[in-house]
Amino acid sequence: MSLEEAEVIRRRAEAFLRNAEQLLKSGEWDLAVFNLEQYCQLILKYKLLVETGSYPRTHSLRRLIRELARIHPDLSSLVEDESRLHYVARLEEAYITSRYTPYVYEEREALSLYRFVVEEFKKFMDGV
C-alpha cells in the first residue's frame, strides 16, 4: 500500500474522531462510541502500515495494539494496565454491539470512553 493510501486511512480515522465529538454533542451515544472505536482501529492500522508496510486484517484493537507494541513497547500498557485494558475492551465490544446487538450506551459511558480516547489513547498514538 502506498503512502498516499495510508494517508487516506489516517484522514478517515481523524474524521471518525471528529464525528464522534459531534455525535456526543447531539446525544447520539451509540453512534459516538462506534465512531470512537473506528478512530482507534484505523489509527492503529495507519501506524502499522507506515511502520511495517501492512497490518493484520482484524477488528481487534487488542491485537492491533500488541502488533504495534512490538515496535513501540510503551504501547503495551494499553493492554497490560488493567484500567486501560478495560477501556480498550469496551471500545472493541462497541464494534460488535453496534452491528449485532441492541445494546444502548448511556451518556456517562460514551463520555468516559471519549475521555479515554482523547486523553490517553490519542496521546499514545501521537507519540508513535
CATH class of 3-127: mainly alpha
What is the per-residue pLDDT for 2?
76
pLDDT in tens, the chain (128 residues): 678 889 999 999 999 999 999 999 999 999 999 999 999 999 999 999 999 999 999 999 999 999 999 999 999 999 999 999 999 999 999 998 888 888 899 999 999 999 999 999 999 999 98
What is the per-residue pLDDT for 126?
95
Map residue 48 onto helix, strand or coil: helix
End-to-end CA distance of the chain: 20
What is the per-residue pLDDT for 1?
66
pTM, two decimals, is 0.95
The type of residue at 62 is: R
What is the per-residue pLDDT for 81?
96
Distance of CA 114 to the CA centre of its chain: 10
Cα–Cα distance measured from residue 66 to residue 71, given in angstroms and rounded to the nearest whole number: 9
CB 20 within 8 A of CB 42: no
Q: Spell out the domain ranges in the chain.
A: 3-127
Angle at 99 between CA 98 and CA 102, to 5 degrees: 65
Those residues whose C-beta lies under 8 Å from the C-beta of residue 1, and which sit 6 or more positions away, are 49, 53, 54
Query: pLDDT (tens digit, 9 = 90+) per residue, 71-106?
Result: 999 999 999 999 999 999 999 999 988 888 888 999
